[in-house]
Structure 1
Amino acid sequence: MANPLVTDKTPMDSGSDTPIANILSYSASSGTLMLPDVYGESVVIEQLRSDTLYRHFLDDDFDAKSVAAKAVENLAITDHLAKISAGISLVEREIRHEVGDKYDELLSHATDIEGLEKSLQDTFSSVKALKVVGDRVQSRMSECYEKVEQHTLMLARLHDTCELARSVARLAGVCRQLRQNNSKQTKDMMKSSQLISEVYYLLANVGEGIHSINAVRPHLTFVSEFRVDLVRQCQALLETSLESQNFAQMTIALQSFHNMGILLQQLDALLTACKERLTKATKEALDVHRLSQSPEQATSGGNRSLPGRASLGGGAAFRGNLWASIESLLGSVGTQLTQVVGFEAVMAKRKDTNSHNTFAQIIQQQRKRKSVNGDASDNNDDADVFNNDDSVKSGCGLVESLWLELALMLSRELIAASAQSTFVRQAFEGEYPKLIKMFTTKLEGVDLTKLNLESLETAYVSRSLSRLLDCANLCLTNTPPLQDDVVAVVNVIMSEIRVTESVGDVQLLRKVSRNVAQTVVQLASRSEQTVISAEVPEAIQVIGPANLTQKNNGMALQLLHIFSVQVSSFLASLNCDATAVSVMASSLKQIDATISSCLSPLFGAVGGAIEAILLTMHEEKYDQPATSSGKEVQCSLYMRELNGFLQRVLTEYLTLFPPNATVQGIVREPCATS
């Protein structure tokens, strides 16, 4: 069946070349005719949707093959074709009806579309003409821009060339001034350093291009060589000024280093050289082979002992060489620290001529920048970054930092030398106060707590305690006890304290004072063991005269009293740390406690005897009349016995013991009790 939408003419065909089929939507793949949604669904569409066959043609997923396959399966192909043809006729009639009803509206839309196409064509022509004009303007502007760019580049090159020419001229002038200053007999280092600083400032601002100019290369070579020579001269001037403590020359060297931008670098190099020099001197001073040489070998520089001549070894000569070397070494350390103290004072006082900040402030700020940025960039524009805090004004801590490192080095080398040589260890441990005395004498005013000689100090304190205890253990071993033994203990105590007191080390003095206190306790314990206790009847008998045991006990306690008196007198004469004196004085209470514990049994027996005598008063006969012979009335029998007993106790026993407060207190106790 022919499609009437294509073959037949409608009234709309006469007004436009566009066929009516263009207004409708037709799916060529599925063969489905789609009506526009703008007109709404008609009754025909409802009829088609309600039919079981036609509804498949209205589905969005219509598949012609599946519909044909179903028709073949049902064996109703003729019926399907007839029904489909009827449906096509129905749809064609509906389309003609709809087109006829909407003819005016469709014609209006077609006319509007034609007008829109003409407007679009005119707009396209205008835009094309505008683009041509824009291309022409862009071409003219590009030409102007290229000319301006070329002239600007030319002007910049002219400026660079002029700046380079001025820099070359200034460089030549500075080099001429440097040559003139170098030709003078008295060179002005500060002026030369300023000129060199100006040269490097010019080179930094100009760039690397100036190095490629042949006329400049000789000047640059001269400046480089002159700078190296000037740095060497400033270093020599600084070293000589440190030795002579010439503050004016120190200021010249510092200002010159600062002008050249190497102040912090040279300061670190100076301290490093100082530490290396002292480290080398320390190793040489503690070299066992060198110390073992005789003076003739040392002066001749021989490395081997002469045939038939013994090495000094660990004798007195070896120790003499050792202490002389240490004394000389500490003298060098003290001299170096004194020089650095003066150098730091100059840095804290003298100011830079440009920024008017002290060199100590400059060093502080450069170190701060180095710690923050990780790299020190010395320049002369330090005035913008300085503050006025007290930590900067107080100095740059050169002496403290140098002494801290030197103390660590000295401690390390002294400990290492004592570990490598038995003779050195014996000298240090046996005469440790002498070593500290050298430090306090040669390094007066230096904080010695930075030294770490704890192992040597511990060994000396242990030896000191051993000497004290050995002497205390030998005391009171004779029968009867000898006063020389007690005097020997007192002399050892006085010697240990005086040696330690002369050093000036408070911590060492306190440790030795604790050793003395321990010695006093040991002596008291030794005395208590020597005195025969109350378990022996001979020690506490009060019937007859004092026997040998009681006399020996009295002599031992007398010696204890003498020891306590002499030590107390010695402590009263000391003018040292109060804590150390208090520790030793407190230990003397153990002497009194020992005397009291030794005498208590004897005087307990005396008290018992007095009590027994007093109890005999009850046996007196008071009813007998007194005689009238004119003689004095005699006292009671118990009173005569008591008086005689007390006289005998006084003459026989009390004279054996020391007349101190402890003994007096013990004597009063039995009397008061009775």
Structure 2
Amino acid sequence: MATTALQRTGSSYQRTSPSSSPRQRLSSHRSSSLSRFERDGFSLANTTDTGTEAAEAASRAAIEEFQKDSVFAKFLAEDFSPTQFASEALSSGSAASSSEKLQEGIQLLEKQLRSEVFLRRDELLQQLSNLKETESVLTVVRAGVESLQASTQRVRSEIAEPYKQIKIKSRQLASLHDTVELLRSVIRALKQLKKLQELMESGGAKADLAKAAQLYNEIETLTKEADLAGVEVLDEEIPWLLEVGNQIRSEAMKGLESGMEALNQAEVGSILQVFYNMGELKSTVESLISKYKGLVVKSVSSALDMKAISASAGSSQGSGGLQRSGAPQAAGGSRARESLWQRMGACMDQLHSILLAAWHLQRVLSKKRDPISHIGFLDEVMQVGDPMLTERVWEALVKSFGSQMKSAFTASSFVKETFVMGYPKLLSLIDSLVEKLVHDTDVKGVPAAIKPEAREQLIAALEPFQTAYLGKSFGRLSDFVNSIFPTAIRGSIPTQEHITRLVSRIHEELDGSKSDKGLTLLVLHEVDKVLQLFAEKAKSQTYTGLEARQVTGPVTPQQLKNFTLCLYLQEVHSRISMLGGLPSAAPEVLSASLGAVYGVASHCITPLFKAMVEKLESCILQIHDQNFASEGNVRDGCSKYMEEVQKWIMHFRSEFLSKLLPGSLSAAVPVAGQSIAASLARRMASRVLLFWVRHAAMVRPLSESGKLQLIRDISELELVVGQSLFPVEQLGSPYRALRAFRPLVFLETSELANNPVLQELPPSVILHHLYSRAPEELESPMQQEKLSPELYSLWLDSEGEEQAWKGIKATLDEYAEKVKARGDKEFSPIYPLMLQLGTSLIEGG
């Protein structure tokens, strides 16, 4: 400020410097005013303390008066409502009196306000004086602000012009730089164009497509990145450049097709380098894969095109061609089927070529790298996690093949019938395609064209045809089985011709599918179901009554039917078991059904053999009715009970076994193993020998003459069993037990302990025989329990050798107690021998 400002502070004045700023002057005015206000306020406080106290006392008295008054107290409430007060005054009927009361209150309040103003007059005047001084301070501040604004305007005017010049110069520099860069790009593009023109004019494009492609790509990249559109010198060359680009692409595509057709890796790799140099490698590969996928779809749909099939068959709808339903008429049916199979074969060849080409392209891409950047071509066209090229083509093939096959199965009865009847042939086409692809793409270090599950993917598309084929296979066989077992005729059995035809038909069904192991296993499952049905039908025709089990009379017609059915069932079992050329899992698949057939065959004659064994056992049990104790009572021949055994064995042979075991006994064993009848005869012969040995050992007492008689019985039994039931030499342990019983009878008791003959006999037989040498008071378990030989024999069959020894041991213990009770000091020599042999034989056996 140009003048000097004076400011009053108390009773003195302070001069401010003319050079002080408006902000400083404003601060000085503010501090002086505050000081004066504080001083004046303090003086006022000293002079008006008494008046203030009186005013506050009067205010409190007025408020207390209002609080005590019932009407005015309502106005002091926080939730006072004028509307509610007026409504209550009007409803009370004393509105006039309420109005007067309110007027009195108003007058009281006005009186109190006047008193407040009067008592605080000096304080109010002081505040008014302070406001006037504040106005003067604001005037000084306003002048300072205007001065500051003027200074700011001067500074702005001094800076704006240089900034404007700098901005203009910077824009000029940027324009010059852009121009220089544009000129450089144009020059570079013109140089590349010149090189490309020289290359094309020299005729080297065909020989060096990669270089031409690189030049073309550089020009294209410069044009796009530098935005050279509108440059006349370059725009004039654009048509020629586009023509050259199309020419390079055309030549490269021709070379690529030629290389793919010849599967030439070097040629395909060089052409892929051309497309890489042009920056079009990924799009070109995508185009090729899309082309292959389209060819796959077209190939499959063309193979099943019924119009084309009808035309190639040389027929028309009016003369033996395909009807509207898709089924061929008689005249053109065979030609149409032949045409369909030819088209399917051609389709598989096309699919093989397409997949092989895709695999070859993928193989070259995986090997090829750019010589400058060293970037792998396969990485250029694929991202991490993307499916391989061959996988994409195969996926399209599977999808199209499945769709077309499903459509053909439902829409064309001709295709359905042809593929169902010739399903093995259709399956062989699939197998041939898969095998060829695996073989042709089996290169070390390179993934194959298809995955291991590829075959199952294609076969899954043939599921409707497969199901129908297996259904027809089962239907043909089951219909034949039902025809040879008419349910309305009881006891009807098939003929030999029926059995031969059944086996032949099963063989034909398996032969039709032998080209594929998987299909053969599926057909085997159907054969398994047919054999189960055959077994059930045969079982329902089996006789199981008393006539089937009778053994005392001649063979009955029912038994003959059972015999025949048994032989036929066994023949089916044997011939099916011997089928060759089947998968290794065939026995497991057919085990249940072949077991069922064998079980029914056994069921036909097992009751008869059981009855024969029971009859022979009853004859052998008569040994206990014979007298083997007296001396000199030796018959010229065998015992009477043995004569019964011989008689019944001969009867069984002539009436039953001769029908089941024709010819010599050695011929009863077929190539596949022992026949059911021979096996049952073997079991019967073994049972007879062991049963006789068991009960011969129980004979008690036994004299020397009785021993001789038993030896004669052994000879007769061995002879009749060997001639009429089964060769005894082939019976094994039962025959050895019979032969061992002969020396056992004549061995001295002292020679028994370690004699090797004991190893061939069951322990119970040895111990039971020793009872015949023991004193009478040493009773056998049969005697002790008072059981019949038959019941005791049944008990031995059910309990076994260990329990038999426990029973024998109990009799030995009882004998020892008897001896001790009598006071005897010595036991019979048999007692310790039986203890020793029983313990050693049971523990060792």
The answer on whether the counterparts of 1:595 and 1:662 sit within 8 Å (CA) in structure 2 is yes
The answer on whether the counterparts of 2:570 and 2:676 sit within 8 Å (CA) in structure 1 is no
For residues 67-216 of structure 1, what are the structure 2 equivalents within 5 Å?
95=122, 121=140, 131-183=149-201, 184=203, 186-207=206-227, 210-216=228-234
Residue type of the alignment partner of 2:512: V
Say yes or no: does 1:666 pair with 2:680.
yes
Which whole-Å deviations, capped at 9, do the CAs of 1:153-189 have from their partners, x for residues lacking one? 1111111111112222222222233333333152422
**Quick one: which of 516, 521, 531 aligns to 1:510?**
521
Would the alpha carbon gap of residues 37 and 362 (structure 1) be closer, same or farther in structure 2, given more than 3 Å must change? farther
Residue type of the alignment partner of 1:649: F
Residue type of the alignment partner of 1:448: R
Gap regions ≥5 residues in structure 2? 1-9, 14-32, 35-40, 67-74, 76-98, 323-327, 439-449, 661-667, 693-845
Give 1:6's aligned residue.
Answer: none
Give 2:545's aligned residue.
Answer: 535
Residue type of the alignment partner of 2:680: I
For residues 319-330 of structure 1, what are the structure 2 equivalents within 5 Å?
319-330=337-348
Which whole-Å deviations, capped at 9, do the CAs of 1:451-470 have from their partners, x for residues lacking one? 22221111111112112222
Give the Cα separation in 2 of the matches to 1:191 and 1:564: 78
Task: Give the CA deviation at 1:87.
Answer: 6.9
Give 1:589's aligned residue.
Answer: 595
Which whole-Å deviations, capped at 9, do the CAs of 1:525-549 have from their partners, x for residues lacking one? 2222333x12161x33323443444
Task: Give the CA deviation at 1:295.
Answer: 5.0
Give 1:486's aligned residue.
Answer: 499
Say yes or no: does 1:422 pair with 2:431.
no
Give 1:268's aligned residue.
Answer: 286
Residue type of the alignment partner of 1:636: S
Which whole-Å deviations, capped at 9, do the CAs of 1:409-468 have from their partners, x for residues lacking one? 012112212222111101111221211111111332351112222211111111121122
SS at match of 2:237: helix
Give 2:299's aligned residue.
Answer: 281
Task: Give the CA deviation at 1:582.
Answer: 1.5
Give 2:647's aligned residue.
Answer: 644
Say yes or no: does 1:361 pair with 2:379.
yes
Residue type of the alignment partner of 1:206: A
Say yes or no: does 1:313 pair with 2:318.
no
Give the Cα separation in 1 of the matches to 2:497 and 2:614: 36
Give 2:615's aligned residue.
Answer: 609
Task: Give the CA deviation at 1:343.
Answer: 1.4
Would the alpha carbon gap of residues 134 and 47 (structure 1) be closer, same or farther in structure 2, given more than 3 Å must change? closer
SS at match of 1:261: coil
Give the Cα separation in 1 of the matches to 2:149 and 2:511: 112
Give 1:635's aligned residue.
Answer: 638
Say yes or no: does 1:499 pair with 2:499.
no
Give the Cα separation in 2 of the matches to 1:38 and 1:485: 143
SS at match of 1:351: coil
Give the Cα separation in 2 of the matches to 1:231 and 1:192: 11
Give the Cα separation in 2 of the matches to 1:560 and 1:80: 133
Residue type of the alignment partner of 1:313: Q
Which whole-Å deviations, capped at 9, do the CAs of 1:256-278 have from their partners, x for residues lacking one? 22233332222222122222223
The answer on whether the counterparts of 1:292 and 1:313 sit within 8 Å (CA) in structure 2 is no
Task: Give the CA deviation at 1:333.
Answer: 0.3
Would the alpha carbon gap of residues 119 and 334 (structure 1) be closer, same or farther in structure 2, given more than 3 Å must change? closer
Say yes or no: does 1:654 pair with 2:657.
yes
Give the Cα separation in 2 of the matches to 1:278 and 1:76: 107
Give the Cα separation in 2 of the matches to 1:85 and 1:485: 138
Which whole-Å deviations, capped at 9, do the CAs of 1:124-162 have from their partners, x for residues lacking one? 777655654443333232211111111111111111111
Would the alpha carbon gap of residues 646 and 42 (structure 1) be closer, same or farther in structure 2, given more than 3 Å must change? same
Q: TM-score, normalised by structure 1?
A: 0.74
Residue type of the alignment partner of 1:566: R
Give 2:562's aligned residue.
Answer: 553
Which whole-Å deviations, capped at 9, do the CAs of 1:352-389 have from their partners, x for residues lacking one? 23331322222223xx5xxxxxxxxxxxxxxxxxxxxx
Give 1:220's aligned residue.
Answer: 238
SS at match of 2:637: coil
Give 1:244's aligned residue.
Answer: 262
Give the Cα separation in 1 of the matches to 2:181 and 2:319: 82
For residues 2-41 of structure 1, what are the structure 2 equivalents within 5 Å?
41=48
Would the alpha carbon gap of residues 313 and 260 (structure 1) be closer, same or farther in structure 2, given more than 3 Å must change? farther
Say yes or no: does 1:472 pair with 2:492.
no
Would the alpha carbon gap of residues 41 and 489 (structure 1) be closer, same or farther in structure 2, given more than 3 Å must change? farther
Task: Give the CA deviation at 1:338.
Answer: 1.3
Moved more, 618-627 or 398-407: 618-627
The answer on whether the counterparts of 1:500 and 1:512 sit within 8 Å (CA) in structure 2 is yes
The answer on whether the counterparts of 1:291 and 1:321 sit within 8 Å (CA) in structure 2 is yes
Task: Give the CA deviation at 1:243.
Answer: 1.1
Would the alpha carbon gap of residues 255 and 84 (structure 1) be closer, same or farther in structure 2, given more than 3 Å must change? closer
Q: TM-score, normalised by structure 2?
A: 0.60
Would the alpha carbon gap of residues 615 and 547 (structure 1) be closer, same or farther in structure 2, given more than 3 Å must change? same
Residue type of the alignment partner of 1:450: Q
Give 1:66's aligned residue.
Answer: none
Residue type of the alignment partner of 1:645: W
Would the alpha carbon gap of residues 170 and 501 (structure 1) be closer, same or farther in structure 2, given more than 3 Å must change? same
SS at match of 2:466: helix
The answer on whether the counterparts of 1:238 and 1:250 sit within 8 Å (CA) in structure 2 is yes
Which whole-Å deviations, capped at 9, do the CAs of 1:266-316 have from their partners, x for residues lacking one? 22221222222232232222122222235557xxxxxx56x7666663622
For residues 573-588 of structure 1, what are the structure 2 equivalents within 5 Å?
573-574=581-582, 576=583, 578-588=584-594
Would the alpha carbon gap of residues 665 and 44 (structure 1) be closer, same or farther in structure 2, given more than 3 Å must change? same
The answer on whether the counterparts of 1:476 and 1:556 sit within 8 Å (CA) in structure 2 is no
Give the Cα separation in 2 of the matches to 1:332 and 1:84: 117
The answer on whether the counterparts of 2:260 and 2:361 sit within 8 Å (CA) in structure 1 is yes
The answer on whether the counterparts of 1:517 and 1:587 sit within 8 Å (CA) in structure 2 is yes
Give the Cα separation in 2 of the matches to 1:586 and 1:80: 120
Task: Give the CA deviation at 1:317.
Answer: 1.9
SS at match of 1:443: helix
SS at match of 1:546: coil
Would the alpha carbon gap of residues 88 and 549 (structure 1) be closer, same or farther in structure 2, given more than 3 Å must change? closer
Task: Give the CA deviation at 1:645.
Answer: 1.7
Give 1:19's aligned residue.
Answer: none
Give 1:292's aligned residue.
Answer: 310
Would the alpha carbon gap of residues 47 and 129 (structure 1) be closer, same or farther in structure 2, given more than 3 Å must change? closer
Would the alpha carbon gap of residues 284 and 193 (structure 1) be closer, same or farther in structure 2, given more than 3 Å must change? same
Residue type of the alignment partner of 1:639: M
The answer on whether the counterparts of 1:171 and 1:219 sit within 8 Å (CA) in structure 2 is no
The answer on whether the counterparts of 2:345 and 2:429 sit within 8 Å (CA) in structure 1 is yes
Residue type of the alignment partner of 1:234: A
For residues 385-464 of structure 1, what are the structure 2 equivalents within 5 Å?
397-444=388-435, 445=438, 446=450, 447-451=454-458, 452-464=461-473
- How many residue pairs align between the two structures? 577
Would the alpha carbon gap of residues 51 and 278 (structure 1) be closer, same or farther in structure 2, given more than 3 Å must change? closer
Would the alpha carbon gap of residues 557 and 130 (structure 1) be closer, same or farther in structure 2, given more than 3 Å must change? same
Would the alpha carbon gap of residues 608 and 214 (structure 1) be closer, same or farther in structure 2, given more than 3 Å must change? same
Give the Cα separation in 2 of the matches to 1:89 and 1:467: 129
